Structure 1
């Protein structure tokens, strides 16, 4: 670190990079932007000017050679995540990877192998875990206040028109890893998994309802969990009224969240069961005011790095989410239920989310 601040560089200066830059600026007391990297140098220069970044590089290799960085944020297209993250690990530089961290389960396991050979770590962006509402819900569940989890709903019903898919890298398994299951709904069902824990079995369907895409534009899944809970997951890009909804029915209360791309405390609703009024007070008592987002996760990451501990969300933990995505595709395209652990390394749906190909390919 320089002057007790973490030196952070952003690789890939497209739209999502602004959320990362904003998060670093929000943590200015302990982090600073020192570099911007993009293969399009003019774009990197414009980004650096906007965010007052002192150095611009045409490649990650040149950034790492300069030796002036503690944490790299990867904001490049998903197909580049593994080689770039592996390059950071080889240089023993920590790396924060945008979603989805890899295009396949096998790629994630390959990156785990590289991480084991490095003193650095890979952290995956799943920022919805870090809003104070989700943190409080996990606390109450762990403390037994809510009772057993019984039923959950997870709906990412968004809208993307045909023009959205006009970019050649969109709507492909090769570059994006999949459709709304991998690129859109993954944030919501990662939050679901962070609350309910390991999943056990999934039965799913996927369809191309309306969009000019090689992937699905809708998927639906029924999921059972190790703790006995059951959940439904919907991922859609054909829904004009856009919303992101989660609902958790416990023995003692229902917790509901409705938002779009990020939430605050007021987006949560807690409904106690009969004679369970204490749940509402347990929810609201000294509830911190932390919206979900990149700033919340970056703060947690910097806390962990300072303490010398594993930063959230590590690759090994994100694997639960990526494996569920792979299993949704495998179940949908083979018309069979898939259990966690069933997709062995090197198998069709571990190598590629779409396996041999979608039925409409």
Structure 2
């Protein structure tokens, strides 16, 4: 039995609890921790979690007599690194919510703690465990669509003005950034997974067009280039009505995407596309996609299952701390390019000031100043993505 503690009992922690409760024979929630302990108590009551201790800070939890094998870190981003490192130094494995950390430097410190303590650090990127995303990766790897030439990432969300009223949101220091870091992190992980290689050049623009209670951007657009001359465009937004998200891959032979769609052109002698396209290839790709079995578990439950399996079998989870760091590297490059208004070369060296904690906080533009805030929101519904 794997004993699990959850630090941070806000919205996203619900997804972790629901996922963990799917596997009562494999794991048990033994501790809930929140700087607002009444929120942890409410979560314990809501899910009827028995024999679960409540703590107001993670250090007292780690120093207690409660036996903990894994800590799920579900706090605001600015403390992901410190809580994860403290937990790993206490001998616990860690599954950390996105984004893994606020800087490349903090990612390195987390990876060093993982290695030093012989534990397993996992990074939440649950959308790899969506059937559509998982099947798109399988389809891409099959080679049926040919070489990947251009990827388009649509991380299009909508958040009301009040979203940034929460005390830690909308500040460079506490949230670390806007949708580029906290929403597109999902799609940037997908992009890295699909591309299978590191970018070499990044250009970007940042803006805030709808939320004058936030210092951070509420929209960004980036263009990324790779060593083989393939490219990607990344839209990160919380101003898009309808929250229509996805990733589209323009490959040598066909376009494939999430939500699933396939287009395949075939040329005439004059180079223009033939009407109707390559119907044979479209059918072959569609049949292959439909033949891929669905995942047993999706979303957070799927990733939790994979992470528990890695601990049980002594293997590596699908999404490691290294994967989380790669995502932060590309996000850092987008911010650096947007802040400096010039092209950024990758990989970002540790000699670069942008690799270090605090640089983005100190150099990023304050689109607006956050003048008022609320301590907590009422327990209302929230969205975790729309890929339909």
Q: Could you tell me the TM-score, scaled by structure 1's length?
A: 0.90
Aligned partner of 2:313 among 297, 307, 312? 307
CA contact (8 A) 2:224 2:233 kept: yes
Q: Which residue of 2 aligns with 1:140?
A: 139
Aligned partner of 2:364 among 328, 346, 357? 357
The alpha-carbon deviation at position 52 of structure 1 amounts to 2.5
Q: Which residue of 2 aligns with 1:203?
A: 203
Q: Structure 1 residue 270 and structure 2 residue 249: aligned?
A: no
In 1, Cα distance between equivalents of 2:264 and 2:69 = 45
Aligned partner of 1:35 among 25, 31, 35? 31
CA contact (8 A) 1:124 1:312 kept: no
Residue by residue over 1:219-260, the C-alpha shift from the partner in whole angstroms, topping out at 9 and shown as x without a partner, is 0001112444211111112222322121111123322224xx
CA contact (8 A) 1:23 1:295 kept: yes
Aligned partner of 1:19 among 11, 15, 18? 15
Aligned-residue CA RMSD in angstroms? 2.0
The alpha-carbon deviation at position 200 of structure 1 amounts to 2.0
Which consecutive residues of structure 2, in runs of 5 or more, have no partner in the other structure?
266-277, 369-388
Q: How does 1:65-214 map to 2 (within 5 A)?
A: 65-197=64-196, 198-212=198-212, 213-214=214-215
Which consecutive residues of structure 1, in runs of 5 or more, have no partner in the other structure?
259-267
Q: Which residue of 2 aligns with 1:265?
A: none
CA contact (8 A) 2:216 2:366 kept: no
More deviation in 17-26 or 57-66? 57-66
In 2, Cα distance between equivalents of 1:254 and 1:224 = 19
CA contact (8 A) 1:156 1:244 kept: yes
Residue by residue over 1:157-185, the C-alpha shift from the partner in whole angstroms, topping out at 9 and shown as x without a partner, is 22222211122211111011101101111
In 1, Cα distance between equivalents of 2:201 and 2:361 = 19
Which secondary structure state, in structure 2, belongs to the residue aligned with residue 322 of structure 1? helix
Which secondary structure state, in structure 1, belongs to the residue aligned with residue 245 of structure 2? strand
In 1, Cα distance between equivalents of 2:156 and 2:133 = 20
Q: Which residue of 1 aligns with 2:378?
A: none
Q: Which residue of 2 aligns with 1:252?
A: 253
Greater Rg, structure 1 or structure 2?
2
More deviation in 55-64 or 5-14? 55-64
Q: Which residue of 2 aligns with 1:261?
A: none
Q: Which residue of 1 aligns with 2:243?
A: 242
The alpha-carbon deviation at position 151 of structure 1 amounts to 1.5
In 2, Cα distance between equivalents of 1:84 and 1:359 = 27
CA contact (8 A) 2:123 2:324 kept: yes
Which secondary structure state, in structure 2, belongs to the residue aligned with residue 238 of structure 1? coil
The alpha-carbon deviation at position 124 of structure 1 amounts to 0.8
CA contact (8 A) 1:27 1:295 kept: no
The alpha-carbon deviation at position 75 of structure 1 amounts to 0.9
Q: How does 1:310-349 map to 2 (within 5 A)?
A: 310-345=316-351, 347-348=353-354
The alpha-carbon deviation at position 286 of structure 1 amounts to 4.0
Higher strand share: 1
